[in-house]
Each structure stands twice: as C-alpha cells, then as structure tokens.
Amino acid sequence: MESTRRRKKSWAEPFKIKVVEPLRITTRKYREQCMKEADYNTFLLKSEDVYLDLLTDSGTSAMSDNQWAGMMMGDESYAGSKNFYNLVDAIGRYYGYKYVVPTHQGRGAEHILSQIMIKPGDVVPGNMYFTTTRLHQQLAGGTFVDVIIDEAHDPTNKSPFKGNLDLAKLQYWIDKAGAAKIPYISFEGNVNMAGGQPVSMDNFRRVYGLCRQYGIKVMLDATRLVENCYFIKTREPGYRERSIAEILREVCSYSDGATMSAKKDSLVNIGGWLAVNDKELFEKARHMVVIYEGLHTYGGLAGRDMEAMARGIAESVQYDYIRSRVGQVEYLGNLLIKENIPIVRPVGGHAVFLDARSFLPHLPQDQFPAQALTAQLYEESGVRAMERGIVSAGRNPETGEHNRPKLELVRLTIPRRVYTQAHMDVTAETVCEVWQRRSSIKGLRMVYEPEYLRFFQARFEKIG
Ligand code: F0G
C-alpha cells in the first residue's frame, strides 16, 4: 500500500537507524599494501580493511526490525516449515507465481532451471548476459545469445529503457535456430551488466506475445525487478498512478516463471527461489532441488531465512522505500555528472557505473582498465568497487579468446538501507580525486586466471 501524504521532493529514507556498525578508516600506505596483497582484485580484500563497501548490493542489505523479529519465528523443522508456506504466499501475492522452489541463492535457482530446461545444442536468447546465469546455461549445453537493444552497449545513450530486448534480434534467432531449439528466453529486469537499466512494460508484453506465438517460454531473472518497476512507474506513460505491487504483478504476468536472487530486491542476506506456473516443470525442479540444495521446503535455507525473505518481499514494494533506494543511487550519480565524470547514463537502479574506457582512454582493454580503476579507488580512500568489463566477461568457451564487451565499467554498488547521504558524498569525492590524476594510472597484467567466473578470484600485478 502506498502512503497518501503529499510527496516532498526529497527522497529521504523512510526509516531511522537503530543499530550501527562501526567503520574503520585506514591510511593510504596501509591500503596500498592491502591492495597489493589482494593482487589487485577487490574480491580478495578483507572487509575489515574496507571503509565504504560498494562491491555489491547482494546480501548486503540492512534488515528491518520486522525482518529480525521474523528471524525469531524461524520454524527449523526439516520438512514443511511454516516459514516456507509464508514465503510461497508472499511470492504468490507479489509476483503471482503458482509453484515455488526455494534455493540458497540466485545461482542455485539458475542451476536447476538450466538443468531441467536446456538440452545440449539449445540456444538461450537474453537481454545481456549475467555471469552466473550464462555459465549455468553453458554448463547445461546451451549457448547464450545477447539480444538486448544496441543502445544498452552505449554508456552515453540516455534512453529510458536500455534493458529492453530487441524483438528483431529475437526473431532472427527464432528463424535461425528454430523455436524447438530455444527452451526459454532469459529475460532480466533492471539489467545488471548494462548498468542497472530497466525494461519497459511494453517490452515485457511484446516479448511475451512473440514467444507465445512460437511456444517459447519466458523466464524472468527477477533479481532487481522491483527496482525495474519503480522505473516503469516513473518513466512509462500510463503507470504513474499504479502501485509498485500492481506493476510487479503485471510484469510477471508476461512470463512463465522466474529465478530470483533475493539477496538484492528482497532485502535479505541470503536466499533465492525458482518459481514457475507449469506443474510438470515444477515437479522436475522439485526433484532436482533435493540433490543440490536441500529438501523442497527449505532449499538450502534455514526457516528463519525464509521468514526474513517473505517479510522483505512485502517491504521491497513499498513506494517510499523504493523511491529512497533509487533516489540515493541517483544522488551519487548526479554528483559525478556535475563533475563531468563519465558514467553510464541514465543512472541505474542499484549502482553507479563508471565508464572506464572514457576514464582511462590511455589503457587498452587488455590492460584491464576497469580492474585498474577499482584498485585506485580503494587505495585512494578505502572505497571498494567491482570490475564489470573484460575480466567479468570471461572467455568464449569455443575459441578461448577473451570476450570483449563494449562496456568496460566499474560498479559502485549501493547496498540497500546501509549507507547515508554523507557516505555518498565521500564516494563522489574519492572518484573526483582519482579523476584528477587519471592520466598517471597504470594498467594491470593478469597473472592467475580461474577457469570459471574468473573475476571473483583472478590475480593481477601492476604494469611498470
Ligand atoms: N542474476 C543477477 C542479475 C545477479 O545480479 C545475480 C548476482 C545473480 C543472478 C546470481 O545470484 O549471487 O544470489 O547467486 N549478482 C551479484 C552481484 C553477485 O554482485 O551483482 P546469486
């Protein structure tokens, strides 16, 4: 339900702080040493050495008192926990799906979905890849093909719905591969790798319409779908008066199911799910979850985790909350725009993405400019960001070559309900300091490369 009071221009947080967690400020010399020991990969830093942790918005949210109270109501029975039923109810009410399989997090759901739906030789079109999603599709024998609109690859393009799927590209793959070879469309809301860019309701509707003609299923990645709904409400004609909850239900009505990393939108530290409307598919997923995650009524989670998730879902669609969440990200983005720092436009829903190609034009992509920039930000003031460029993109499994994404980005990801406006100011100051001395920044060389999802554990050294 939305509050009816007159709306102020400010997006001030609709909550106050009850518990605080101290932050540690360190010296530059210490941080340089830490970054060197972490081999210039911010995933390998110890969090106690980080001042502002903008590595990810995944599992880093602050839970509400209501969620913490729910944790005390955990029913830790092995089978049939009441929290599972509360979760199923919440997903049914807010997302509208019939059948739910809980998983420990999003990739657990992606694994099950890929294994039960993809056959070797299949093609899975989607609106830009996500690292774990694509890998599970590949491990199941499928090939992911990117059918996002071209605008998504241009950080300066200000279109309001840069997450949209290009129907002509989709038609091309349907004609080329044949509908029988396309088990489903992998359709992500508020596309992470494109910079947190939304899909319009019109696009959700059209993609579903096209897929129905061919009997192809549409599976959403609902990880940041609530944030997507906020953009539909504020940017798409006809939705201003609709509640976030109503918009969410409509979006999901144009799909056959979804995978979810509840660690984002749903304001919990762990959890995920796979939901479908098809009974047969559900039975397959239920068989699979017991092998890899746990019984079908807990899927790798404690009862208390499912309760926190059920309550978090209800909180996530509150308009005042989602407005302040996206408003805070926009606030940081606007500070950087004012300083002419190149960022992905429009500002995304969960993060501000620095355009490392424009930031460090003297570094070729083979010297990992975005990775180098994350190291500089950390050394400057202890702000931890994440690379979303050539390192994240990995290699083509057939040719073994680096995938070379057009977007070479650094993600300043904002955890939900965690940091204040002053923290955003400090972050902007940090980026400005590094911007001032950008021409002296050196590239990196990769000295250790894991086979899968290399960005998590790759090691680098400074060139020169
Ligand atoms: N889909 C999207 C769009 C994601 O952003 C993530 C995770 C997943 C699926 C996988 O979910 O982590 O719960 O297994 N994104 C995190 C991030 C890791 O930092 O962007 P998970």
- Per-residue pLDDT averaged across 395-419, rounded? 95
Evaluate: CB of 42 within 6 angstroms of ligand 1: no
296-320 residue pLDDT tens: 999 999 999 999 999 999 999 999 9
Residue 140 DSSP SS3: coil
Mean pLDDT value across the chain: 96
Evaluate: CB of 371 within 6 angstroms of ligand 1: no
pLDDT value of position 372: 98
* Percent of the residues in the chain that have a pLDDT greater than 90, as a whole number: 97
24-81 residue pLDDT tens: 999 999 999 999 999 999 999 999 999 999 999 999 999 999 999 999 999 999 999 9
Closest-CA residue, ligand 1 atom 11, reads 106
Provide CB contacts within 8 A for 414, sequence distance 6+.
54, 57, 328, 329, 332, 350, 351, 352, 424
274-299 residue pLDDT tens: 999 999 999 999 999 999 999 999 99
pLDDT value of position 1: 46
Question: Is-contact 255 220, C-beta < 8 A?
Answer: yes
**Mutational pocket test of ligand 1: of 128, 133, 199, 261, the residue with most ligand atoms within 8 Å of the beta carbon:** 261
Residues 311, 321: Cα–Cα separation, whole Å: 14
Closest-CA residue, ligand 1 atom 9, reads 106
Evaluate: CB of 195 within 6 angstroms of ligand 1: no
Evaluate: CB of 137 within 6 angstroms of ligand 1: no
Question: Residue 5: pLDDT above 70?
Answer: no
Evaluate: CB of 192 within 6 angstroms of ligand 1: yes
Residue 275 DSSP SS3: strand
Tokens 């429009």 -> residue: 346
Question: Residue 327: pLDDT above 80?
Answer: yes
Closest-CA residue, ligand 1 atom 12, reads 106
Q: Which whole-number Å values give the CA distances from 234 to 284, 339, 384, in the listed order?
A: 39, 26, 30
Evaluate: CB of 188 within 6 angstroms of ligand 1: yes
Question: Is-contact 198 138, C-beta < 8 A?
Answer: no
pLDDT value of position 464: 83
Closest-CA residue, ligand 1 atom 19, reads 56
Question: Residue 4: pLDDT above 60?
Answer: no
Question: Residue 198: pLDDT above 80?
Answer: yes
**Mutational pocket test of ligand 1: of 56, 57, 58, the residue with most ligand atoms within 8 Å of the beta carbon:** 58
Angle between helices 82-94 and 244-253 (to 10 degrees): 90
* Atom number in ligand 1 closest to CA 188: 3
Evaluate: CB of 130 within 6 angstroms of ligand 1: yes
Sequential DSSP letters for 53-122: E-S-SSS-PPPPHHHHHHHTT----SSS-HHHHHHHHHHHHHT--SEEEEESSHHHHHHHHHHHH--TT-
**Mutational pocket test of ligand 1: of 264, 293, 411, the residue with most ligand atoms within 8 Å of the beta carbon:** 264
Sequential DSSP letters for 351-364: EEEEEHHHHSTTS-
Question: Residue 204: pLDDT above 70?
Answer: yes
User: Mind listing the domains of the chain with CATH numbers?
Assistant: 28-57+319-462 (3.90.1150.10), 65-316 (3.40.640.10)
Question: Residue 365: pLDDT above 60?
Answer: yes
